[in-house]
Structure 1
């Protein structure tokens, strides 16, 4: 029963571990409690990963920088001459996703402020990161189609 605690992130265990052990001792283990613990583990890791920093940047900031670099690559190196229709469609979808992600990011900045806008705590930030993911997928499809 105590080994479930070790599946949670370290910060979570340090803050809530003792309380959870006490509650588990009082309630016992049932299939419903085990299921709730597994959902809690998934939720705790989701929160931990969405706030994790890479070299001092939040994940959303890293995605923004990568996408800006990709836009620079598109505008400088790749011409649309000779690209198949499918590649053009993938590029259009990628650019629309990027544009919408930037609009959501700016709207989030005006709504909650600049620093909180780059966290994953607001719905607009999550939607912006999701659009950045679709941008990345369609951009990769475009690159594959242009290089084939």
Structure 2
């Protein structure tokens, strides 16, 4: 029955694998236990796959939205230089960029301390992905700033 533990996702096995093996050693090997394990495997994979899809989709939606807002600002503000002070909009863009850079650095440092250097530099953790997304926001806002000041 220990072989059923290896059907769980890798991240789940790292977190709960040893505990499950200990519980399996203490329980009887019945048909009900096998069914419970199979249902647990299905549930663990469902959670694993839905978290990956939903999180990546949310980050990409946020980056697309921020990019569209910045493109709209560039297209609408440049022709209206007399009506709107472009410097104020550019200042707002650079403030958002600096805030996102600060948050990206803080998130990256937290990822390094929480998961270690190897996992912190990979894109396997949500904190690393969030840090990368915030760097994307920084790049888009700085580009908007540079376009507006020229």
Shorter-chain TM-score range = 0.3 to 0.5
Q: TM-score, normalised by structure 1?
A: 0.44
**Based on CA coordinates, which of the two structures has the bigger radius of gyration?**
2
Q: TM-score, normalised by structure 2?
A: 0.43
**Counting helix residues as a fraction of each chain, which structure ranks higher?**
2
